[in-house]
């Protein structure tokens, strides 16, 4: 038996999440069984702890999009009992039982080995949000971004993706301009390495001129919507924007002019199905380049029992810092 946060749905369609003892025989199919140590909390987890937002197909369900732990049994030659591993994405915690449990069973391809320099707790302070920030930086660099080309813009900077993006860019020698709608986060963003704070209102207006002055050497955008449309016209010739999120909306009311007259690139980032090799490379770079002391200072510790409350909070935009869930 192991402990898990189980979501059940009654005949009226109402869901209820509570910690239960679960028989190991109920674990889903997979090649690797992991003794989970830590998980975290994403917006999608809030949906899956609650009514599901269309993500969960079958109940009873165990949410938890990300987890890190120790391999207990493996049918795959890449993993042996005792190996430390991390999982993000692959619809785990949505269509497959996830990390809000002391045990998980998953496909070997969904895991990556945890770099020695990171603890399982550190890995969950990074989580999908941090991995996504690193994948965005890797995409920008693959399209020619280098330090010294000018400021790199990060939107939604005080959020999960934006905070890690700011810290990673700064530790790699980039000049970081952080866009935020919360002026009270200025000290926090400067401590992460931002050298310039851009008020959200500066980029709030919709596109009037298709091309504005060339300012940004690149951008990691967690916001999307009209802000992404606007900033495209401010990116330097041949520069790239990594489109990561939709915190400001899914519409893109943009002009194509920056693509045609400045060769600007818009790069899509999908962390959920990122192939194994790139994920493993990204985790190695996170271990080597992310200032973990800064991230550890943002950790909000939690336990399985806290998750129903935290799930509701994240859906209302009330969660600050990185929630790290000790499932034991
Ligand atoms: P958070 O909620 O932690 O951060 C989002 C930030 O965006 C907020 O902190 C805020 O930053 C800013 N923001 C919120 N609402 C608005 C708005 N209306 N207009 C402008 N800015 C706004 O989310 P995450 O950092 O975890 O995720 C960011 C986005 O990336 C989400 O949309 C998420 O779904 C997506 N995502 C995508 C992934 C992928 O694989 N592509 C993986 C992970 C996340 P501030 O207060 O500083 O202004």
Segment 48-73, tens digit of pLDDT: 999 877 899 999 999 999 999 999 99
| Percent of the chain scoring above 90 in pLDDT | 89
Q: Is 315 in the pocket of ligand 1 (CB under 6 A)?
A: no
245 C-alpha to ligand 1 centroid (Å) = 6
Q: Are strands 176-180 and 152-155 parallel, antiparallel or unpaired?
A: parallel
Q: Is 181 in the pocket of ligand 1 (CB under 6 A)?
A: yes
Residues 98 and 64 sit within 8 Å (Cβ to Cβ): yes
pLDDT (tens digit per residue) in 211-249: 999 999 999 999 999 999 999 999 999 999 999 999 899
Q: Is the pLDDT of residue 110 over 90?
A: yes
Q: CATH 3.40.50.720: which residues of the chain?
A: 128-268
Beta bridge partners of 302: 325
Mean pLDDT of 139-167: 96
The model's pTM is 0.95
Nearest to 152 by CA among 251, 63, 220, 58: 220
Which pLDDT belongs to residue 11? 87
CATH no. of 2-114+298-326 = 3.90.180.10
Q: What residues have CB less than 8 Å from 221, skipping those under 6 apart?
A: 153, 155, 156, 227, 228, 231, 241, 242, 243, 244, 245
Q: Is 226 in the pocket of ligand 1 (CB under 6 A)?
A: no
Q: Is 245 in the pocket of ligand 1 (CB under 6 A)?
A: yes
Mean pLDDT of 175-188: 94
160-171 and 120-142 helices cross at what angle (nearest 10)? 70
Q: What fold, for 128-268?
A: Rossmann fold (3.40.50)
Report residue 272's pLDDT band, with 50, 70 and 90 as the boundaries: very high
Which pLDDT belongs to residue 55? 92
Report residue 321's pLDDT band, with 50, 70 and 90 as the boundaries: confident
Tokens found for residue 123: 């890995």
Q: CATH 3.90.180.10: which residues of the chain?
A: 2-114+298-326
Residues 66 and 40 sit within 8 Å (Cβ to Cβ): yes
| Number of neighbours of residue 209 by Cβ within 10 angstroms | 10
Minimum-distance ligand 1 atom for the alpha carbon of 243:
41
DSSP H or E stretch at residue 268: strand 265-268
Mean pLDDT over each residue of the chain, to the nearest integer: 95
Which residue from 43, 53, 134, 161 has its CB within 8 A of the most atoms of ligand 1, so it is best to mutate? 161
91 C-alpha to ligand 1 centroid (Å) = 19
ipTM score for this prediction: 0.99
Residue nearest to atom 18 of ligand 1 (CA): 248
Q: Is 248 in the pocket of ligand 1 (CB under 6 A)?
A: yes
Residues 231 and 219 sit within 8 Å (Cβ to Cβ): yes
DSSP string for 130-183: HHHHHHHHHHHHHTT--TTS--EEEESTTSHHHHHHHHHHHHTT--EEEEES-G
């Amino acid at each position: 038996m192991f402990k898990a946060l189980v979501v059940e749905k009654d005949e009226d369609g109402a869901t209820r999440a509570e910690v239960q003892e679960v028989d190991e025989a109920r674990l889903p199919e997979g090649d690797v069984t992991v003794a989970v140590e830590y998980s975290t909390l994403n917006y999608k987890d809030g949906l899956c702890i609650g009514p599901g937002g269309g993500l969960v197909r079958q109940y009873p369900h165990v949410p938890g999009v990300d987890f890190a732990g120790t391999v207990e049994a493996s049918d795959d030659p890449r993993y042996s009992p005792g190996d430390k591993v991390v999982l993000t994405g692959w619809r785990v915690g949505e269509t497959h039982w996830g990390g809000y449990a002391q045990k998980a069973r998953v496909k070997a391809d969904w895991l990556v080995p945890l770099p020695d320099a990171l603890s399982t707790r550190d890995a969950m302070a990074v989580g999908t949000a941090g991995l996504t920030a690193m994948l965005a930086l890797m995409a920008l660099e693959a399209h020619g971004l280098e330090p010294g080309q000018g400021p790199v813009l990060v939107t939604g900077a005080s959020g999960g993706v934006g905070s890690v993006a700011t810290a990673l860019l700064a530790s790699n020698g980039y000049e970081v301009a952080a866009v935020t709608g919360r002026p009270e986060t200025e000290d926090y963003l400067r401590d992460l390495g931002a050298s310039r704070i851009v008020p959200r209102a500066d980029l709030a207006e919709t596109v009037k001129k298709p091309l504005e002055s060339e300012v940004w050497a690149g951008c990691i955008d967690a916001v999307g919507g009209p802000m992404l449309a606007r900033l495209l016209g401010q990116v330097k010739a041949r520069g790239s924007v990594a489109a990561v999120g939709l915190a400001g909306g899914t519409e893109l009311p943009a002009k194509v002019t920056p693509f045609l007259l400045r060769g600007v690139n818009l790069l899509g980032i999908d962390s959920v199905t990122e192939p194994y090799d790139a994920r493993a490379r990204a985790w190695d770079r996170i271990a080597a380049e992310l200032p973990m002391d800064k991230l550890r200072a943002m950790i909000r510790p939690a336990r399985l029992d806290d998750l129903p409350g935290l799930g509701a909070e994240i859906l209302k935009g009330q969660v600050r810092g990185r929630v790290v869930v000790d499932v034991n």
